[in-house]
Amino acid sequence: MTNTTPSGQQHADTLIHARWIIPVDGSRTILEDHSLAITDGKITALLPTADAKAHWSADIIQNLAEHTLIPGFINTHGHAAMSLFRGLSDDLPVIEWLNNHIWPAEGQFVNEDFVHDGTRLAMAEMIRGGTTTFSDNYFFPEAAGHAALEGGMRCQLVFPVLDFPTGWAKDAANYISKGLDTIDLFRNQDSILVGFGPHAPYSVSDAPLKEIITLSEQLDVNVQMHIHESAQEIKESIEKTGMRPLRRLAELGFLSPRLQCTHMTQLNEAEIQLIAQNGCSVIHCPESNLKLASGFSPVARLQQAGVNVAIGTDGCASNNDLDMLGETRTASLIAKAVGQDATALSAWGALEAATINGARAMGIDTQTGSLEIGKQADIAAIAMNELENLPVYNPVSQLIYTASRNQFTHVWVNGKALMEDRHLTTLDEAWLKQRANYWQKRISASRQG
């Protein structure tokens, strides 16, 4: 709510004067020398800085004369706590990596403490890189949700569902039951969405998938699943069921606008149409797909078919960072070579994928994903005056193709500053470094033993 005083002056909680504002509102407009006003956590005005300085007052004024304001990134797929496994094992065949490294480490170490520490470490990295919303698919989702509340980030928790036991649950029914408790736990938290995260077609059988369809409709919550990540997955599905995984999911009635299909590196033209017709979103995780040699998602073809494509970093075990700016650049670069078209996923298109498209995938695009009046103030400010960014012919191009994540200086979620001049306000960096070292020592010792 904007307050107008009797003198005609207007007042905001926070007023940010910026060199450039990129609203990502669909118009592909860049506002130069503009200001953004925040009151009660919402964006209340976007106006020329000259007007703002003449007619507005605020409790907090930020002068960001060399900066660009963008909607905070939406990291639409990840496993936050796996930040503690960052670089634990690399450059291995995928089966060996999973069977001999990641799954044993998860079995031995993943508990509430691990998720508590690892999610906070991940959030610190994400906030420092301009991310305001993240999706998390991991065990002990209630611990991740509490971390998100403490850290102040907007969050979608998609709790795992698997046929087999892990440290968190013992069978599909048990995962679903614990997940429903998580939905209840965060029901009154506006900044936390909870939905279903059935792992993958090959690890969840038909009965729980049918139950997830029914429950997700009844509760009106999202579903996110790793689908068509690798050629191996397709081959095994055909051997086992006679069908490619997407066909099986379609026959079960699993495809809907609430479904976020993650990875999707193996797609034929009919499958692209199927995804488009059912209004599913695709969550593109290019660096994970490259690093695990999974393949290339046909992003340009998906977009041409009308599919909403968002971006995710995936977890740190397979990336090895949560750098949404770097991920978005990679998405743009690789879309061109894969599509054999240098105009594919332009700087503008990539920025939209990393912001508003993520909000659309989660169904929260009326609240966040762009800088528009009435939306929540989820904002990232990036300094664009490094030598590496000059000359600036086009601020969007310089953002996507030349800037680095360390140039983000300020981040706000719901109008609250989570980072100010590179200082985190909700998370303790020194404590996080201690915890990272603690887990490194424990995990390394066990692997040498």
Q: Which residues bind its own copies (CB under 8 A)?
A: 84, 86-94, 97, 121, 124-125, 128-129, 287, 289-296, 319-321, 323, 326, 330, 333-334, 336-337, 339-344, 346-348, 385, 387-388, 390-394, 397-398, 401-402, 404-406, 429, 432-433, 436-437, 439-440, 443-444
Q: CB-based contacts of 441: which residues, under 8 Å, 6+ apart?
A: none
CB of 107 to its own copies, least distance (A): 18
Q: State the pairing for strand pair 31-39/10-21.
A: antiparallel
CB of 421 to its own copies, least distance (A): 16
Amino acid code (one letter) for 72: G
CB of 115 to its own copies, least distance (A): 16
CB of 345 to its own copies, least distance (A): 8
Q: Which is nearer to its own copies, 210 or 433 (CB)?
A: 433
Q: Which is nearer to its own copies, 160 or 339 (CB)?
A: 339
Beta bridge partners of 243: none
CB of 359 to its own copies, least distance (A): 23
DSSP state of 72: P
* Side-chain half-sphere exposure of 322, counting CA atoms within 13 A: 35
Distance in angstroms (rounded) separating the CA atoms of residues 382 and 392: 14
In 3D space, the residue among 166, 164, 163 whose CA is nearest the CA of residue 107 turns out to be: 166
Read off the tokens for 341. Answer: 């078209």
In contact, 335 and 344? CB cutoff 8 Å:
yes
CB of 11 to its own copies, least distance (A): 36
CB of 446 to its own copies, least distance (A): 12
Q: Which is nearer to its own copies, 58 or 427 (CB)?
A: 427
CB of 183 to its own copies, least distance (A): 31
In contact, 400 and 332? CB cutoff 8 Å:
yes
In contact, 284 and 261? CB cutoff 8 Å:
no
Q: Which is nearer to its own copies, 193 or 436 (CB)?
A: 436
In 3D space, the residue among 41, 315, 372, 49 whose CA is nearest the CA of residue 158 turns out to be: 315
Read off the tokens for 158. Answer: 């998609």
Q: Which is nearer to its own copies, 57 or 346 (CB)?
A: 346
Amino acid code (one letter) for 93: P
CB of 397 to its own copies, least distance (A): 4
Q: Is the peptide bond before 320 cis (omega within 30 degrees of 0)?
A: yes
In contact, 71 and 354? CB cutoff 8 Å:
no
The side-by-side arrangement of strands in the sheet containing 308-311 is: 73-75, 131-136, 154-161, 192-198, 223-227, 259-263, 281-284, 308-311
Dihedral, 296, 298, 303, 304 alpha carbons, nearest 10 = 160
Q: Which is nearer to its own copies, 121 or 354 (CB)?
A: 121
CB of 320 to its own copies, least distance (A): 4
Q: Which is nearer to its own copies, 106 or 142 (CB)?
A: 106
Q: CB-based contacts of 75: which residues, under 8 Å, 6+ apart?
A: 126, 131, 133, 134, 135, 311, 312, 313, 322, 324, 358
Read off the tokens for 301. Answer: 């073809």
Read off the tokens for 134. Answer: 């993240």
Q: Which is nearer to its own copies, 276 or 333 (CB)?
A: 333
CB of 208 to its own copies, least distance (A): 30
Three-state SS for 278? coil
H/E element, 367: none
Read off the tokens for 256. Answer: 């809907």
